[in-house]
Amino acid sequence: MKKTLIIANWKMNPSNTTQAKVLFDEVAKVLKDVKKAKVVICPPFPYLSIINNQLSLIKLGAQDCFWEESGSFTGEISLSMLKDLGCKYVIIGHSERRQFLNETDRMVNKKIKAALIKNIRPIFCFGESKKDKDQGKTQNVLKKQLENGLRKIIKSDVKKIIFAYEPLWAIGSGKPCSPEEANVIRLFIKKIITQKYSRPIANEIKILYGGSVNSSNVKSFIQQGSFQGVLVGGVSLKPKEFIKLVKNI
Ligand code: PGA
């Protein structure tokens, strides 16, 4: 049985190590028995090492990375450093980084390629804004983000990428995309991958949905929407609700 992938993106939370440890422990002690899901926790960088010491079935991911190996890049974190801390996944191109830090498709592409070289699975995020949607530009915007993000990535590597469709208007808004609408996008993503690579590859890749996922709606994205997993922000900070979400898939 293929496991549903649940990625917890803690973003810039909680505010200290003690709270991070409590949050992780609460979730880990219950989730060690969950068989249907693979849970990946992506805490802020400073908490990676405390969580690394206690991994069980839960995997560790980072929220960003830099594409160079080492050198004069103040403030950046390399993939070797993340690997050393036990990261198996890395979120790349989250809309908050695109929005607040001017991260471009070109940077996203470099980061994805660098992660693939280091054998850390990239979670490639993309999505349209409310304005794009209202102007009927969703598919054009997504096509551009996908094509640019996947530039010069070969067939054997594209299968290792986890695709995360996250409409900006659904993130943190409490108003998720409907599973039907999300499924249309999922099929559109597969079409782009088929055109660029092949149908078997499009059938193999993992596509996740993210944006206001909670314990009541998670099942609809997995079952009606046919997504292979979800990316969870806000709810991943509430242990009881997050455990319920994982159990409800
Ligand atoms: P949300 O965030 O679950 O709080 O909407 C999702 C995300 O930004 O990855």
C-alpha–C-alpha distance, residues 183 and 152, integer Å: 27
Ligand 1 surroundings by CB, under 6 angstroms: 9, 166, 171-172, 210-213, 231-234
Which residues participate in catalysis according to the annotation? 94, 166
| Closest residue to atom 3 of ligand 1, CA basis | 233
**Site to substitute for ligand 1 among 216, 232, 246, most atoms within 8 A of C-beta:** 232
The pTM score is 0.97
Which two structure tokens, joined as six digits, stand for 67?
């594409």
167 CA to middle of ligand 1, Å?
10
The alpha carbon of 180 is separated from its chain's Cα centroid by a whole number of angstroms, namely 20
234 CA to middle of ligand 1, Å?
6
Q: What is the pLDDT of residue 51?
A: 81
Average pLDDT for consecutive 10-residue bins of the chain (249 residues)? 93 97 91 86 95 75 98 98 96 98 98 98 98 98 98 97 98 96 97 97 97 97 93 98 95
Q: What is the pLDDT of residue 56?
A: 66
Q: What is the pLDDT of residue 54?
A: 61
C-alpha–C-alpha distance, residues 115 and 70, integer Å: 14
For the domain made up of 4-247, give the CATH fold. TIM Barrel (3.20.20)
Residue with tokens 């009541």: 216
